[in-house]
Amino acid sequence: MATIRRPPRGDQRTGPKLEPYQVVLRPLITEKTTHLSERQNAYTFEVNQLATKTEIKDAIETLFDVKVAHVHTQNRRGKPRRYRQIVGRMRNWKKAVVTLHDEHRITFY
């Protein structure tokens, strides 16, 4: 019996179309990310939670004029915080670690 396959539907995303400056919110510069950028040519950014890996790759390539090799993402949960008797939480956020090709670099400072 032959299997009937559906044709691909194209873009599966139903959210809004994001511009490159809406995808990348800010670079994360810490000791650990500086070590990553110097030794492995990988840079860390806080990105929009609705952004996909391909959108992150396209945004980094257009904003910084570099060639991206890999994109790894993490959805980070907000930490619990307290102010006197009020208990709250920080907001959830998305982190992207972008690895560039060997010949490309990004300078933040």
Per-residue pLDDT tens digits for 57-92? 999 999 999 999 999 999 999 999 999 999 999 999
pLDDT number for residue 10 = 62
Task: Say what the pLDDT of residue 52 is.
Answer: 94
Q: Are 94 and 47 in contact (CB under 8 A)?
A: yes
| 1 located within any domain | no
- 22-37 tens-digit pLDDT: 999 999 999 999 999 9
Q: What tokens were used for 89?
A: 């939480």
Structural domain range at position 75 = 20-100
Q: Is residue 30 part of a domain?
A: yes
Structural domain includes residue 13: no
Work out how many domains the chain is built from and give that number: 1
Domain assignment of residue 6, yes or no? no
Choice between 29 and 5, residue whose per-residue pLDDT is larger:
29
Residue 1 has pLDDT above 70, yes or no: no
Q: Is the pLDDT of residue 45 over 70?
A: yes
10 is a domain residue: no
Task: Give the domain CATH number at 93.
Answer: 3.30.70.330
Supply the pLDDT for residue 7: 73
- Residue in the structure block whose two tokens are 């994109």: 71
Pairing type for strands 86-89 and 93-100 reads unpaired
**Separation of alpha carbons 34 and 40, rounded Å:** 10
